[in-house]
Structure 1
Amino acid sequence: MVAPSIESGYFVFTLMPSLFCHLRCPHCYLSLEERQDRTIMSPDFLEEACRKIDAYWDSRNIRKRTVVCYWYGGEPTSMGIDVFKDMADRINSVFDPAKGYEVKHTVLTSLVSVRDDWFPVFDQYGLGEFQTSYDGDMRGGSYMRKWERRVRAAVDYGLSVSTISVVNRELLEQGPAWTLDYLADLGVKETSWLPFMWNDQNSNGSYDDYAPTMSSWSEFMTGLTERWLERRRSDLATPEIGQMRFILSQAERGGLANIAGQTLFLMPNGDFVLPDYREGWKEFMRPFGNILDQDFADILASPARRKYLRRQALRNGNEDCLSCPHQDKCVMEFWKDNREGDDCFGGRRYIDWLLDKSPDVASVSGSRSSCTLY
């Protein structure tokens, strides 16, 4: 099976039109200067970028075109409703269904400062869904109480709420069973659980304070999935686990996965970038070109992106990954060195356990197995 790619008409268009965010999260790769910068990409520039993307697909005669607009940042709602709607409307006007486009907008928000007037926006542009970050008590009890109130308000409005979490030591301490029960009680529909990555911003000691090992990540995911099975057997409403669904889906369909061929991040200055790694597994943003100065085809075919994709396809040259039977279904989102003496960044120990439990997952899934945001 051929992996979806931008070249074939499938684009996870990760939008970072503003980097501003008032939070100081230990896992964030943005510098303090970047998070304090209120610069917003011009809607005119964004429309121009979309027209270049559209022209690229026209030149390749791509008929079916899927664009998943993932509004990231920064805090995307900090731009305000009018700016967001202007940008989203311009995207939709260029990516016209009459030309074969299917477009979805998913907003990732901290939610704590989001007012109720955003809910109709999420409903209209996100087709009733949005995503919010959840990291346990890592940001403090006051933050969590505000977040919980906003989640309940969104659910009461009728929205489908999904969470994305960077697994940290606070989550490990509260435990996977309690965590899943808590999110289920809030009415969360879907969850995603990312490893905590090292970067320049958390090299001041925050990484050592908050980041668990990958062995601990796999143990947490195993406990989370065990609790998921218990709740499903008891016919209790339970959030989906994105990583679990991805692994099991890939195990069935096979094919090359996790090469990042379908994804680019658009920065406020027009740069297209992706996470990359130096010093083994230290994260930074790798630029491939600037859409304001170049055609989209030139960015996709740039030496930097070609080299990047080769490294993804060759699993960073990791001998343990190249010989691993799970390299087509692991959670190594962007390829990097593995840490000696630890589980790999693909979470092999969790995958080994999960594949053994796949009949149990299938037996309780029924028709409730959709997973849309992971």
Structure 2
Amino acid sequence: MQSVNDRFTLLDENRRADTIENGYFVFTLMPTLHCPYNCKHCYLSKEQRADKSVMSLDDLRTVCRKVHAFFEEQQLAQRTIIAYNYGGEPTAAGPQYFEDYVQVMADEFPASAGYHVRHVMLTSMLGVDLDVWEPLWKKYCNGYVQTSYDGDMRSGNYVRKWELKVTEAIRRGLKVGTISVVNSDLLAQGPRATLDKLRTLGVQESGWLPFMLNEQNDVPGKYDSLAPTMRAFNDFMIEMLDYWYDLQERGIRAPAIGEAHFAVDKIKGHAMGNMAGQTLFLLPNGDLVLPNYRDGWKEYLHSFGNILEPGVTFRDILCSRERLVYLRRQMRRNDNPECTTCEFRNACLLEFAKPNKPDDECFGAKRFVAHAIYRNGIDPRLSGPVQLY
């Protein structure tokens, strides 16, 4: 009988792809979708964000056991689980829930079975009691926490409160990374001022994503006023990277630009290196999903099945027609002709396959990716992925 690994045979036997089937699982946990904020780039609906329900720990244990059963079938010696605590606002589930779910995963994914589990949390930071969360992040997340920074898009008052929280978190010895959705406010602020702001705060690494269309901003004029073109995104990222290099040459520490490291690392790999084969999002009801796109590039969460349904295994989810079609589209880069022949397709930032915008540069940010690889070829400061946790 053909194993799941046989379906994903790699051309380069010396460099296995980071896929679930190969024992590398970015397990994006969304135990609650509740969030008090109304961010313009969020793909969750107003109703989802208002829902305060939380996945039970019994259900989480059931999910973990099904994942473990799959890895046992695969007879994998090494099993990496990146437990990415997402949301919603993940701290809304409470500190006791966080500690309990970490214990559930320790029980079900023991080191004795070859597991290496790392926990990461992405939080707004607002409303977070650092007296409570600081020791938890230090104990379970190697003192690292991620937070969103999107300039003044969420209002100047929001940013001021956020800066105070980040400053206090770093003062307490936490390592902070940021995730930013590049928007019109960040463009107006400029890449140099943006990197300087994060540098001054003490942020250690940064991630940068294009602004996507979703039901939060799909009203006449709103998306276009908030979302830069990909051409503008590339310009922003290239100028930021050049400034980062300038700061490095002057001996000034600045946050790592994650996408630049990603491009340099992935260009050495193979076609499966950036095709979403390593991740699934778990919703509170047990659905396993990933971002997908309809009506062009309008983002929504696409389900591959509910793992809590009686008789449904993790293998069933991974081998479902829905997921195989999804991965095939990823590998074929959505059949975008400019993507399938692109020399940088294995390193592009096209996180999940979608049509490119007409009359614009590609969602993979080819120009920035090429520039990062070029700069690293001259001055190899980007070699190797950034990992703070």
TM-score, normalised via structure 2 length: 0.93
Counterpart of 1:245 in structure 2 is 261
Q: Quote the residue 1:74 is aligned against.
A: 88
Whether the 8 Å contact between 2:90 and 2:121 is mirrored in structure 1 is: yes
Matched, 1:343 2:361: yes
Whether contact under 8 Å (2:199, 2:254) holds in the other structure is: yes
Structure 1 CA distance for aligned equivalents of residues 138 and 149 of structure 2 = 21
| Partners of 2:262 and 2:388 in 1: CA distance | 11
Give the corresponding residue for 1:301.
319
Matches within 5 A, 1:62-141: 62-116=76-130, 117-141=132-156
> Partners in 2 of 1:21 and 1:365 — Cα distance?
35
Equivalent of 1:173, from 166, 188, 195?
188
CA contact (8 A) 1:15 1:266 kept: yes
Distance 2:86 2:49 in 1: 13
Q: CA RMSD in A?
A: 1.5
* Secondary structure class of the residue paired with 2:339: helix
- Extract unaligned runs of 5+ from structure 2: 1-11
Aligned residues: percent identity?
A: 46
Is the contact between residue 144 and residue 174 of structure 2 (CA under 8 Å) also seen in structure 1? yes
After superposition, the C-alpha distances for 1:282-335 in whole angstroms (9 at most, x for unaligned) are 111110011111111111111101111111111111111011111010000000
Alignment of structure 1 residues 210-229 onto 2, 5 Å: 210-229=226-245
Q: Aligned in 2, Cα 1:352/1:140: closer, same or farther, shift over 3 Å?
A: same
- Which residue, 49, 54, 62 being the options, matches 2:63? 49
Cα pair 2:376 2:382 within 8 Å, conserved: no
Between stretches 171-180 and 205-214, larger displacement belongs to 205-214
Structure 1 runs of 4+ aligned residues shifted over 4 Å read: none
Count of residue pairs brought into register by the alignment? 371
* Residue aligning to 2:216: 201
Q: What SS does structure 2 have at the residue aligned with 1:252?
A: coil
Q: CA deviation at 1:253?
A: 3.8
Tell me the SS of whatever aligns to 1:352: helix
Distance in structure 2 (CA, Å) of the matches to 1:242 and 1:149:
24
Local SS of the residue matching 2:20: coil
In 2, Cα distance between equivalents of 1:92 and 1:213: 44
2:386 counterpart letter in structure 1: C
Mapped partners of 1:264, 1:250: distance in 2: 20
Deviations for 1:90-124, whole angstroms, at most 9, x for unmatched residues? Answer: 11211101111000010000001111110111111
Quote the residue 1:3 is aligned against: 17
- Which moved further from structure 2: 349-358 or 243-252? 349-358
User: What's the counterpart of residue 297 of structure 2?
Assistant: 281
